[in-house]
Copies of this chain bind each other. A is one copy, B any other.
Amino acid sequence: MTETTQMRGVLSPVITPFKADLTPDANRLIAQCRWLLSQNVGLAVFGTNSEANSLSVDEKLMLLDMLVEAGLDPKRMMPGTGACALSDSVRLTKRAVELGCGGALMLPPFYYKGVSDEGLFRNFAEVIERVGDDRLRIYLYHIPPVSQVPITLGLIDRLLKAYPGIVAGVKDSSGDWNNTKAMLDAFPGFGVFAGQELMLLDNMRNGGVGCISATANVNPGPIHQLYANWESSEADRMQADVAATRKFIQQFPMIPSLKQIVAHYSGDAGWARLRPPLVELTAELSTKLLDGLAERNFAMPGLPKVQKGAAD
């Protein structure tokens, strides 16, 4: 197996901008990704918060190609490549490897419910075998509140034994620290990312490698600072600070709120668009969100401003 550097740190499931006709807007996305990298936050493009499952495979491939063509470092990218259809997962994962992405974040197939670990093992094994490239680094995506299909400890154990190195880690978005802790304890050296920053410090103190968090889309700098300084005496205070921001934002519908915040702080109203079935915030909620952030002196330093209407 090729020696590679394990992915670590804070990653953002980058929100996906849409043009007025609801096609994905590669230029806005490139600018946003460049800004996130400047804040030391990696690119978990095509995550849940990216509306990735509202994009076709072709749309995802186009965006990923354009991000790499734009000169962004693929080693900082962990695109979501897990789909319901095996053929889609293979196609996306293969391209991610070809482009040199640091990892691939894989949902299990999520349409059929109550499926067996044997069936899930076969799914991931088929993807790994068909991609057939030692550079592949799979991060399993455990997000039962949305996917309704869990990644169990037993499944991880079996995959790690069959594909050591290739199966590189997990994103635990269960929201259950006991589950994250169980993964950390069971698989030393496995790349365990917390699913949000509320558990970032606990995760680091127990052998984890970072977090992949929705709110890293809007608050990347402070979350990275916590990651970078988790062993310092300031860590608990920093954890409390990022947690306060997170807890305020997560009172609102997450994806529309992230887009509304970027739209507001960039001065680019087009950022607020979502694809169905998601809908934008009501005017009332939007005001409450933005007023609350202003009261907290929230800022997005260095956020690129797209000239009004230029990208529409």
Interfacial residues, chain A to chain B (CB-CB below 8 A): 22, 48, 53-59, 84-88, 91, 108-113, 115-116, 118-120, 122-123, 126, 145-149, 275-279
Contact = CB atoms under 8 A, between A and B. Distances in A.
The 7 nearest A-B residue pairs measured at CB: A119-B277, A53-B111, A123-B276, A122-B276, A115-B277, A53-B84, A56-B87
A95 to B, nearest CB: 14
Identical chains bound together, number: 2
Contacts of A146: 111-113
Contact of A55 (B56, B58, B85): B85
B111 A275 contact: no
B109 A276 contact: yes
B56 A88 contact: yes
B126 A22 contact: yes
A85 B58 CA distance: 11
Nearest to A108: B277
A188 to B, nearest CB: 28
A293 B86 CA distance: 32
A53 B113 contact: no
A279 B54 contact: no
A147 B147 CA distance: 10
23 contacts: A53-B111, A54-B85, A55-B85, A56-B57, A56-B85, A58-B87, A59-B85, A108-B277, A109-B276, A110-B111, A111-B146, A112-B278, A113-B145, A115-B277, A116-B277, A116-B279, A118-B279, A119-B277, A120-B276, A122-B277, A123-B276, A123-B277, A148-B148
